[in-house]
Amino acid sequence: MTQGRIVEYIEEGKIVAALCLQDKGGRLHLITANNREVNLTSKRALLVSAVSFDVSRPREELLEALRAAEQKRNILKKEINTAELWELIKDEAMPLDNVYLAKLVFGESVSDEHVSSLVRVLFEDRLYFKLKESFFIPNTDERVELLKRQAEEEALREERLSRGALWLKKALHGNLQEDSTYRNFVLGCLKDIALYGRDAASYEHAKELLARAGVTDTREARRILVKLGTWNEDEHLELIKSDIPVSFSEDLLEEAGVIAIRRPETKSREDLRDLPVMTIDGPFTRDYDDALSLVQHGETLELWMHIADVAAAILPGTDLDKEAWHRASTLYLPRQIIPMLPPELSQEGLSLKAGLDRPALSLKVVLTRDGEVLNSQFLPSIIRVSRQTTYEEVNASLTKEAILSEMHRIVSILREKRLAAGAIELSLPELVVKFDHKGNLNLELIPQNSPSRFIVSELMILYNFMAARFCRDNAIPVLYRNQPPPNEIVSRGEADFIFYAFQQRRKLNPIQISLSAGAHSGLGVDAYIHATSPIRRYLDLVVQRQIIPFCEGCAPTYSEKDLDEIRTGIEPVVKEMERIKRNRLRYWVTKFLSQNKEMPLKAIVLDELKNKYRVILKDFLLISEMKRENGMLLKPGDAIGVKVKKADPWEEVLEIVYRGERQTASPYGYSQ
């Protein structure tokens, strides 16, 4: 019978001693030293004392006896050295009886208190022994070392959390200690949870850290980082999470510096420095990789397109080449440009800057004034840009300068030929994010069909088309950009051009990167590659390494197998960049709308869904969804007015609501 004996059991990770008042055959009715009555199954009893008490005695006497017994146990615990005991029996890899272990510590004569104190010490200190079915088994040497390391790590974790939470609490109240030992730990936890949320590797640490600092919502991590000055309000989290490098190593910068000051070799190149060569770019462009010339000879014209010869400077297999391959392309973002090549090259040594000799891969196209191509030739050349202009300057000078007027006239003919061959014109304005001198955000749609942009665009298409034909006809391995015909040709009718363009784009087939030449239906050409931006796109550099050796009577640099390997490595990176760029633009639009919630917005219904409409915000060319209200009957093509209900760029939330002004299929706004 257990009645009257001290029963010890485990509760919430601790050993509790209680006096058994009644044994009901497997169910024990106990009273603890805190005068709490407990019912317990006999199976849960870890220890049962040999000594028993008369339970008919007054309750206070029983409690006093229980407390005295527990006090003796706690005093005896101090006499036990678990490390010495473990050293004595660590090779006995078997369950050991509690009484046997107590005798090893206290001698042959042991009491209930001796056994209990021994069990309590070994239970509380799990380093040397593990409990298994009321017996203890010595841990192995390896297990002890592992547990020691874990204990040290846990102690360090606790120290970091407690000290880190204290630092954070002070920092949130303006007492920012920059040299704190725990600053980096705290900021690392906050960044991790702000970037990855519940998927963060340190989520539990960060959550506990914030809780100890008095912050219950883990979503506050980003705001805290902004408040502490670690991040700015518009920190690009998606870019941080990506594998895209934003800077160059010292070794790469040193290599770029050497190349940048190297004088171009001219002996084997066509000297075109006497040609009038001009660039047409944006006012802030620094990486000039294309230039143009037009020479008139009576009834024929010589159109020249010059592309910076990057292949002459960046050799295959070099560290710079490997870095460019890894980066794949220059990433243009509002407020940030992440170049494929170091600025010493992309903006200086390789850039087609005015007045400087530069190697190029030039294309000479001889045409009649009616736009018929008589002959063409690719030439490794040396050029000197004589005029650096902007789109705006060319637009302003178009009617005043005969060369510009003629250039515009001939490219208009070339465009008509492409359209006649099946090209689909879907050019929409480009949404540009701008900031004034005070940092205020603004958005502007820049038309892409201005005369100057039209000239550049059409001549770059011509260069890429002629390069693709040249490679195809001479069996030079390259990666072609093929596009099968669209699944459907959408009739524009009276529809708004933006609505038409969005509808038709859905029907286009995706570009296929292939080693076999095929038509590009969207551009209306029978072969197409990218070759005009080798400073900014790695695949364009690869094309140069194929064409230039062929022009010099040598074998191309890459085999088809090499090209396929390059394509496999680059395609995912380019897609990731496109996604980041697209999402970042949406971020800025959402932020702009959050700052201008009362602004009336023009929209076009794109799709009618079950409980909502998908619409295009015309001033931003952004697709958003709008809840269908009771009685609302709209159809695709309807021009409507909407307004912002909620816009939160951090949470990627944009909610718009209908404000009326319905105009069925109205062709207002940007038109073509």
pLDDT at 293: 98
pTM of the model: 0.81
pLDDT at 256: 97
What DSSP state is assigned to residue 652? T
C-beta separation of 291 from 396 below 8 A: no
pLDDT tens digit sequence for 238-271: 999 998 999 999 999 999 999 999 888 888 899 9
pLDDT at 663: 56
Beta bridge partners of 280: 389
Which run of H or of E encompasses 573? Answer: helix 560-595
pLDDT at 662: 64
Residue 30, SS3 per DSSP: strand
pLDDT at 236: 97
Alpha helices in 20-79 (DSSP H): 59-77
pLDDT at 666: 35
Does the domain made of 590-663 have the CATH classification 3.40.50.300? no
Residues in the chain predicted with pLDDT less than 70, given as ranges, are 178-179, 661-672
202-209: long-range contacts, CB 8 A cutoff, minimum separation 24: 205/157, 205/161, 208/161, 209/161, 209/164, 209/165, 209/168
For residue 641, which of 615, 613, 663, 660 has the smallest C-alpha distance? 660
Question: Taking the domains of the chain in order of start, what are their residue ranges?
Answer: 5-142, 156-231, 250-479+515-584, 590-663
pLDDT at 124: 86
pLDDT at 664: 47
Structure tokens at 209: 């850290």
Distance CA 538, CA 531 (A): 10
Structure tokens at 56: 């008919």
